[in-house]
A and B are shown apart, each in its own frame.
Chain A
């Protein structure tokens, strides 16, 4: 396994719609300043943003950990929330359990998880109903350049 160049964790507050997306914006700046090439950067910030929005919309709180190696960028998003009862169904494009409030924000149209899958090289979702969800995504650098 390639050596870690950077590991940083960010707190995400559930239901704080004003700040929703801030962590992903911050990650974009950090990685851009480190010179990560544009195509990989774009993919990973989309994954981070969708994951962050899911935490804000559904969970009480969450933590996003960014791990950069020479070969890839890994995102681990762990939340304390309701969990996902049927993960396979949640990955179906168009399937959504979003409230009207979430839809008014422009989210919850059943594209979040599919977007995350499309933009990751590896994506793993583990969830326990009533406890929370863990999302682990890997984006290889230069893989889509």
Chain B
């Protein structure tokens, strides 16, 4: 599924990487624990988290995910967004909560990593 489709489905705002929304993701890793993300991400997933500090983008970079989606309307600081742009990691935010996001994306065919 393209990031642009995910943006439509989850009514996201794009904070970084507007030019990279044609990127395809097939798997999702979702957690507020950064070590969990590092343990399960295999690379090129969509990372969903409620943690909006700089560590979330550092983790995304280290784990090699394709994009970061922040849930429940949490908005990262400007410097976090700038850092994501620098690392070329698209950042989306949605008002939806983690459970709903995961349910919707699962129904659309995306799978988790394990």
A and B from one assembly? yes
Q: Interface residues of B: mostly helix, strand, loop or mixed?
A: helix
Least Cβ distance of A38 to chain B in Å?
Answer: 8
Q: Contacts of A36 on B, CB cut-off 8 Å? A: none
Please report the C-alpha to C-alpha distance between residue A31 and residue B43 in the assembled complex, in whole angstroms: 17
Are B62's CB and A49's CB within 8 A? yes
Are A28's CB and B61's CB within 8 A? yes
A28-B61, A106-B32 known; A49-B38 Cβ under 8 A: yes
Q: Does B63 contact A (CB under 8 A)?
A: yes
Digitize B19-30: 1 where CB-to-A-CB distance is under 8 Å, 0 elsewhere.
Answer: 000000000000
Q: Does B11 contact A (CB under 8 A)?
A: no
Least Cβ distance of B77 to chain A in Å?
Answer: 11
Please report the C-alpha to C-alpha distance between residue A98 and residue B105 in the assembled complex, in whole angstroms: 33
Identity of the chain A residue whose Cβ is nearest the Cβ of B52 in the assembled complex = A106
Are B56's CB and A42's CB within 8 A? no
Are B55's CB and A105's CB within 8 A? yes
Chain-B contact segment, one of A6-14, A16-24, A81-89: A16-24
A25-B61, A28-B61, A46-B63 known; A106-B38 Cβ under 8 A: no
Q: Does A50 contact B (CB under 8 A)?
A: yes
Please report the C-alpha to C-alpha distance between residue A50 and residue B63 in the assembled complex, in whole angstroms: 11
Q: How many residues of B contact A (CB 8 A)?
A: 20
Q: Contacts of A115 on B, CB cut-off 8 Å? A: 35, 38-39
Identity of the chain A residue whose Cβ is nearest the Cβ of B83 in the assembled complex = A25
Q: Does A45 contact B (CB under 8 A)?
A: yes
A42-B43, A46-B63, A106-B51 known; A25-B36 Cβ under 8 A: no
Q: Which residues of A contact B (CB under 8 A)?
A: 17-18, 20-22, 24-25, 28, 38, 42, 45-46, 49-50, 105-107, 109, 111-112, 114-115, 118
Q: Which residues of B contact A (CB under 8 A)?
A: 32-36, 38-39, 43, 49, 51, 53-56, 58-59, 61-64
A21-B54, A38-B64, A49-B59 given; 15 more Cβ-contact pairs under 8 Å: A20-B55, A21-B62, A24-B58, A28-B62, A42-B43, A49-B62, A50-B35, A105-B51, A105-B53, A106-B59, A107-B34, A109-B36, A111-B39, A115-B35, A115-B39
